[in-house]
């Protein structure tokens, strides 16, 4: 609700801002692959604030650097900044992504069989409310989770299951850690089907140590970003190493003693999610989603590769 909030414009708003900015102030953020290691805004001056002095010039030399706690640094810096009207600039940023957001809002609100990934995230939030701890893990799945769970009203306590070099495989371990840290909270992980396989056997850890959480698999039967990237660049007849097929991930969890269900219809999802939570066990709801859905993040990455 803050007047400077960009709502769920996410990467699209950031890319627009980065391409037009004269000055970038990086607050405690590493220039990882998502930011092209600092190359994403070559025209702008760069100021970095980080508690770790080694980060000030990592991957790109800063024009100015401040070593310190971000909160304390901002508190001191804002004393020297006059309040200004940024309405025109904010409108420019919002105009960059509003058409995309309008399409996404329609996908979230419209029942669909097969289930659209945006709809999946919307129904997960409907089932568990705003007081849950939500985590995401995957490629396209990370995009859908980020835009669906970080909206105008913040969705519970949100954590991105990503690392400095990628976003795959951390979701299940992060979910275990979240439940151990906040046992009174409902912990929900939205996982891509590819990334689920990287640490699926940690459900055995969850069973052995009685750590219940709900894992919702966005099952598009593929390494989605790779598949759609290949389709865009090479056509649908030249797909290599990206097809996963219909895999019953819920059976893996059931075999380990947890709770599992396969969901193929929109109307069945929320009841299945509630049954998973009520089971009190580590649970997997395997949701068959639209195999043709392509996220804007994939389109951006493909455009970036073409530019290179």
List residues bridging with 71 in a β-sheet. none
**Superfamily classification of domain 10-92:** TPP-binding domain (3.40.50.1220)
Rounded-to-integer distance, Cα 270 and Cα 286, Å: 12
- HSE-CB at 306 with a 13 A cutoff on CA atoms is 11
**Domain coordinates of the chain in residue numbers?**
10-92, 110-307
What per-residue confidence (pLDDT) applies to 95?
79
Q: How confident is the model at residue 152 (pLDDT cuts 50, 70, 90)?
A: very low
- In tens, the pLDDT along 44-89 reads 999 999 999 999 999 999 999 999 999 999 999 889 888 888 888 8
* pTM, full prediction: 0.85
Rounded-to-integer distance, Cα 203 and Cα 215, Å: 10
37 vs 118, which has greater pLDDT? 118
Tokens 């059976």 identify what position? 251
Domains 10-92 and 110-307 agree in fold = yes
Q: Measured between alpha carbons, how far apart are the two ends of the chain, in Å?
A: 38
Write the CA distances from 285 to 7, 77, 84, 89, 184, integer angstroms.
Answer: 29, 47, 48, 42, 21
Instruction: Bin 246: left if φ > 0, else alpha if -120 < ψ < 50, else beta.
Output: beta
What per-residue confidence (pLDDT) applies to 7?
60
How many residues are given for the chain? 308
Q: Shortest CA distance to 134 belongs to which of 181, 174, 194, 184? A: 174
Q: How confident is the model at residue 300 (pLDDT cuts 50, 70, 90)?
A: confident
What per-residue confidence (pLDDT) applies to 73?
93
290 Cβ partners below 8 Å, 6+ apart? Answer: 112, 114, 115, 116, 117, 220
- In tens, the pLDDT along 170-224 reads 999 999 999 999 999 999 999 999 999 999 999 999 999 999 999 999 999 999 9
Query: For residue 155, is pLDDT > 60?
Result: no
**Superfamily classification of domain 110-307:** Thiamin diphosphate (ThDP)-binding fold, Pyr/PP domains (3.40.50.970)
What are the structure tokens assigned to 233, written together?
A: 């660049």
Mean pLDDT of 6-25: 73
Largest pairwise CA distance in the chain: 61
The helix or strand, by DSSP H or E, that contains position 89, with its residue range, turns out to be helix 87-109
- In tens, the pLDDT along 230-285 reads 999 998 888 999 999 999 999 999 999 999 999 999 999 999 999 999 999 999 99
């Amino acid at each position: 609700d803050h007047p400077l909030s960009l709502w769920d414009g996410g990467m699209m708003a950031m890319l627009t801002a980065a391409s037009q900015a004269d000055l970038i102030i990086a607050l405690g953020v590493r220039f990882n692959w998502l930011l092209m290691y600092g190359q994403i805004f070559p025209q702008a001056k760069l100021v970095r604030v980080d508690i770790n002095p080694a980060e000030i010039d990592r991957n790109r030399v800063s024009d100015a650097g401040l070593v310190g706690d971000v909160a304390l640094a901002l508190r001191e810096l804002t004393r020297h900044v006059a309040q200004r009207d940024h309405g025109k600039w904010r409108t420019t940023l919002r105009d960059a992504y509003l058409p995309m957001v309008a399409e996404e809002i329609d996908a979230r609100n419209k029942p669909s069989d097969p289930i659209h990934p945006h709809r999946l995230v919307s129904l997960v939030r409907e089932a568990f409310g705003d007081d849950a701890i939500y985590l995401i893990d995957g490629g396209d799945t990370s995009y859908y989770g980020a835009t669906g769970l970080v909206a105008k009203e913040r969705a519970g306590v949100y954590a991105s299951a990503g690392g400095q070099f990628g976003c795959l495989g951390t979701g299940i371990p992060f979910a275990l850690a979240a439940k151990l840290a906040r046992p009174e909270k409902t912990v929900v992980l939205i996982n891509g089907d590819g990334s689920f396989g990287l640490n699926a056997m940690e459900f055995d850890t969850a069973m052995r140590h009685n750590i219940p959480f709900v894992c919702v698999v966005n099952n598009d039967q593929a390494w989605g970003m790779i598949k759609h990237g290949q389709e865009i660049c090479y056509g649908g007849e030249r797909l290599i190493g990206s097809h996963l097929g219909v895999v019953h991930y819920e059976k893996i969890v059931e075999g380990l003693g947890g709770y599992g269900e396969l969901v193929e219809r929109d109307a069945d999802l929320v009841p299945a999610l509630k049954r998973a939570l009520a089971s009190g066990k580590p649970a997997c709801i395997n949701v068959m989603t639209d195999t043709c859905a392509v996220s804007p993040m994939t389109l951006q990455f493909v455009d970036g590769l073409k530019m290179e």
